[in-house]
Amino acid sequence: MDNKIVFITGITGQDGSYLAELLLEKNYKVYGLIRRSSNINTQRIEHIFNNKNLILRYGDLTDGTCLINILSEIKNNHKDMEKLEIYNLAAQSHVKISFEIPEYTANADAFGTLKFLEAIRSCGLEKIARFYQASTSELYGLASHSGANILSETTPFYPRSPYGVAKLYSYWIVKNYRESYDMFACNGILFNHGGVRRGHNFIERKITLGLGKIVRGETDRLTVGNIDSKRDIGNSKDFVEGMWRMLQQDKPDDFVLATGVMHSIRELIEMAFKLKGFDICWKGEGLDEIGYDKNTGRELIFINEKYFRPAEVDWLLGDATKAKEILGWEPNTSIEELLGEMVEQDCK
């Protein structure tokens, strides 16, 4: 019986690459969706590219036909499969950029999920497929609206960006297909998570890459946006383990994955820079605020309006009690360890 078959969208992304690695180690046959790009976009999976259990197919979430074709191919190749795990990780995942490309973001991050669920039904796989949807803490958005001070599966949502709104559609359509067609479909409501494979324009990676350039003398500054927002940031490697656990349960459900520890961007900058001997202090206010090294007086951190969002998510702090109790999942990496690993790599 063929039960270790998986189809991953977003396999060239941060989470997709770690998940593919994890499942190849567990002896899965891994099908992955990759996008055509004008240049190589498979750097994160280069080390597993030639694994005989990895099969890559071109496609795009906005193209429902390609999803049907790939699912049909998988069905055909594994006629006796009893279970097909599907992880829908593909998305236009940048919150700020979603304000600039809202329509595309909705096509990929909202309707893409609908197309995928319909493709599963069209291929007659709705009783075999186990579907994981990459939901997000961005659903909570204006978190203080709920009156909560920590966010769980029962906290009401209030998204604050075209990205968050598109992901909210996906959250509900997954729930709806679960209830309407008895599909095994789960939402993983994941709080921020990064690491050494994090995209370069997400804040924690931007900080460690910027620090690396300063240390090597390639630039004299790091320029950022709102340093007073707060995030709960974990390790992508830990989080993909949680995704996998969700699809191994007896029944489908939605789970928060988070570390339960939150820091402001200001604190993240201070923590990362400290690892290279800088003692960052602040002077000035608003857009004129500057972070300088107390030891040398060197001005290193500058603020620029262009990195602010039209609507901000001020804080996100997650309560992963349900995942801990039901999935036995634990975040194993502290923010200090995560930044340490990133600083080490990015300052080489």
Q: Which residues are catalytically annotated?
A: 136, 138, 163
Compute the least distance from the CB of residue 64 to ligand NAP, in Å.
11
Q: Is 161 in the site for ligand NAP (CB under 6 A)?
A: no
Torsion of CA 266, 268, 271, 277, to 10 degrees: -70
What residues from 220 to 279 belong to the interface with ligand NAP (CB under 6 A)?
A: none
Residue 309 touches which of ligand GDD, ligand NAP, none (CB < 5 to 8 A by kind)? ligand GDD
What residues from 40 to 99 belong to the interface with ligand GDD (CB under 6 A)?
A: 93, 95-96
Residues 271-310: x where in contact with ligand GDD by CB under 6 A, - otherwise, as a string: ------------------------------------x-x-
Residue 187 touches which of ligand NAP, ligand GDD, none (CB < 5 to 8 A by kind)? none
At which residue do the structure tokens 């694994």 appear?
Answer: 51
CA distance 317 to 320: 10
Q: Is 108 in the site for ligand NAP (CB under 6 A)?
A: yes
Q: Which stretch binds ligand NAP (CB under 6 A): 32-40, 292-300, 306-314, 334-342?
A: 32-40
Pairing type for strands 290-293 and 299-303 reads antiparallel
Ramachandran angles phi, psi of 112, nearest 5°: -55, -40
Residue 126 touches which of ligand GDD, ligand NAP, none (CB < 5 to 8 A by kind)? none
Amino acid in the structure at residue 250: D
Q: Which tokens belong to 156?
A: 């009401």
Contact 301, 267 (CB under 8 A): no
Q: Which tokens belong to 109?
A: 């991050």
At which residue do the structure tokens 């075209």 appear?
Answer: 162
Those residues whose C-beta lies under 8 Å from the C-beta of residue 344, and which sit 6 or more positions away, are none
Contact 153, 254 (CB under 8 A): yes
Q: Is the dihedral of CA 85, 91, 94, 98 positive or negative?
A: negative
Q: Which of 29, 44, 160, 231 binds ligand GDD (CB under 6 A)?
A: 231
What residues from 186 to 215 belong to the interface with ligand GDD (CB under 6 A)?
A: 191-192, 201-203, 206
Q: Which of 98, 113, 136, 333 binds ligand GDD (CB under 6 A)?
A: 136
Contact 342, 204 (CB under 8 A): yes
CA Rg, the chain, in Å?
A: 21
Residue 201 touches which of ligand GDD, ligand NAP, none (CB < 5 to 8 A by kind)? ligand GDD
Compute the least distance from the CB of residue 307 to ligand GDD, in Å.
4
Produce one character per residue of 320-331: b if its CB has 16 or more CB atoms within 10 Å, e if not. Answer: bebbbeebebeb
Torsion of CA 230, 314, 346, 240, to 10 degrees: 80
Residues 311-340: x where in contact with ligand GDD by CB under 6 A, - otherwise, as a string: -xx--x------------------------
CA distance 162 to 27: 38
Q: Which stretch binds ligand NAP (CB under 6 A): 29-37, 73-81, 243-251, 261-269?
A: 29-37
Q: Is 225 in the site for ligand GDD (CB under 6 A)?
A: yes
Q: Which stretch binds ligand GDD (CB under 6 A): 81-89, 99-107, 134-142, 335-343?
A: 134-142
Residue 62 touches which of ligand NAP, ligand GDD, none (CB < 5 to 8 A by kind)? ligand NAP
Using Cβ positions, the residue closest to ligand NAP within the complex turns out to be 13
Q: Which of 224, 243, 269, 343 binds ligand GDD (CB under 6 A)?
A: 224
List helix spans (H) across the chain.
Answer: 14-25, 64-77, 95-100, 102-106, 112-122, 162-181, 203-215, 236-246, 265-274, 321-322, 335-346
DSSP 43: G
Compute the least distance from the CB of residue 232 to ligand GDD, in Å.
8
Binding site for ligand NAP (CB under 6 A): 9-10, 12-16, 33, 35, 37, 41, 60-62, 89-93, 108, 134, 136, 190, 192-193, 199
